[in-house]
Structure 1
């Protein structure tokens, strides 16, 4: 019924209309609605609602603030102006920063290491749970190399490499989140590898900068340096089929690159490579996955970005002498914001926004006293879905101290 002023209250609307409104809310607002009344709590707690709400969330890059104002910050895609960025610091600063750094992200869940233990957490619901490791004991190292959703079952799974110091042998394990028993799997390769070559493959997965594989078409994709030396030219991208639980090789674009990475470009497997001269960044996307055909998309030139940035500074700010390390001299990393806008890290202190034509759009600023930033390989897609199968704890104490601030 209308209130005394004649206005219709939200509670008076049909249930299906209320649900359509609630599913459009931001994650933290949807969570707060659960405290309003019993009917809203019930409506926002069904699996159907939580999955639909998660489906509508954008996948946003994570910027590492190196402790100030927060270790990890989600950067939203609002507009080009740095002052209007949507920021969500979800891991607060810590004197022991290396202990609570995310090492794997899938959808709305993060896996964080704390000492020798690993936790899965949902920063929206502020819950976490301890993950059991494959083998625990002296002389055993467990390394997490993949975190993914197994589409046939909907389960979230963790891929581990467990290594013994005494025998130097490595084993592969899969842990279903919610289970207490990691499952050892046999390694199946498309070609027969010697034991030394297989061990070298594990070294590539463990020690190279590929700890965040790209999950595409039910497979995990890594691009560690020097893989083609192991595969005998069969490919330089390592692919793990999460359904068949087998490995295969894939070829990357053939152009020579000084520094390269795989990434997800709005649901498409993509590849960027810095030129040998460090003056440009080329971007390809997978045109035909089965035939392993890549298509060149665009090139970003350092000189174009720097010229656009100088014009921006001259037009909107007082002209100042810039220290040498603030100039755009090379590209170190990249993340996609949308069809035309990118985040680019060009040194240890600056992350900028530019478009695919090399036009400078602004410097990322996540804190007044920020002096260092790192563009991580992770992206977060917020979710109010609970962590499967665990008695969860509130993140009010270490190792996390997470939440919206």
Structure 2
């Protein structure tokens, strides 16, 4: 949900459904080689595209819609995944889709499935964290967005972690 509308990518188009007016509209995406994922970044609509056509150096492009009304896109980051370096550390790599999102503190996070590992990279392509799949890690094409209002009684609940990420 962004600006009161639900958004999703279909090929090179974004379909937006305005939940108040109950109407649809279309927007063009930037020209990207593969399917893209949408997310919110810095109060703007963001889009990531994983380019695995060059197996030697897979790339994640991160776009932002600078002007929502005029539908103006700008390339914000180009994350080059260090294939050779990661292969030495984590074994064989078969390029697959990745997930891009912004953390609660505003950092852009890139999650890349890498063999039996899930790797967290920053926008410079540097490894931040790694998580080994021991049979329980299942990827889903869904993103978590915390929407609960932070009431004053939350921190007083025993065992409640108010400022921590739920998964990472």
- Compared CA separation, residues 249 and 276, structure 1 to 2 (3 A): same
Q: Does the CA contact (< 8 Å) of 2:99 and 2:110 recur in 1?
A: yes
- C-alpha contact 1:348 1:372 (8 A) present in aligned 2: no
Distance of 2:83 and 2:19 partners within structure 1: 40
Cα drift, residue 276 of structure 1: 5.8
Q: Which has the higher contact order (CA 8 A, sep 6+)?
A: 1
| Paired position in structure 1 for 2:101 | 336
Quote the Cα distance in structure 1 between the aligned partners of 2:70 and 2:147.
34
The TM-score, its normalising length taken from structure 1, stands at 0.32
C-alpha distance in 2 between matches for 1:346 and 1:333: 7
Q: Runs of 5+ in structure 2 lacking a partner?
A: 151-168
1:216 maps to what in 2? 2
* Aligned equivalent of 1:379: 144
Taking the aligned partners of 1:269 and 1:337, their CA distance within structure 2 comes to 12
- CA distance in structure 1 between the aligned counterparts of 2:47 and 2:100, rounded to whole angstroms: 11
Aligned to 1:287: 66
Please tell me whether the aligned partners of residues 14 and 27 of structure 2 are also in contact (alpha carbons under 8 angstroms).
yes
Distance 2:50 2:41 in 1: 17
d(CA) in 2 for partners of 1:220 and 1:351?
28
Measure how far apart 1:350 and its partner are.
2.7
Q: 2:35 aligns with which of 256, 259, 262?
A: 259
Going from structure 1 to structure 2, the CA distance change for 1:346 and 1:285 (only over 3 Å counts) comes to: same
Partner in structure 1 of residue 128 of structure 2: 361
* Runs of at least 4 residues off by over 6 Å: none
Deviation at residue 248 of structure 1 after TM alignment: 0.9
Instruction: Say which structure is richer in strand.
Output: 2
Cα deviations by residue, 1:370-391 (Å, 9 ceiling, x for unpaired): 4533154221416379xxxxxx
Deviation by residue 1:49-68 (Cα, 9 ceiling, x = unmatched): xxxxxxxxxxxxxxxxxxxx
Please show how residues 107-122 of structure 1 align to structure 2 within 5 Å. none
Using structure 2 for the length normalisation, give the TM-score.
0.71
Cα RMSD after superposing both structures: 2.8
Residue segments in structure 1 that go unaligned for 5+ positions in a row: 1-214, 229-235, 314-321, 386-405
- Indicate how the Cα distance of structure 1 residues 295 and 379 shifts in structure 2: closer, same or farther if over 3 A, else same: same
Q: In structure 2, what is the Cα distance between the partners aligned to 1:247 and 1:383?
A: 27
Inter-CA distance 295–310: structure 2 relative to 1 (3 Å threshold): same
- Tell me if structure 1 keeps the 8 A contact 2:91–2:115: no
Larger Rg, first or second structure (1 or 2): 1
Deviation at 1:298, TM superposition (A): 0.9
Instruction: Label 1:221 to 1:323 Cα distance change in 2 as closer, same or farther (>3 A).
Output: same
Choose from 333, 342, 345 the match for 2:112. 345
Count of residues in correspondence between the two structures: 145
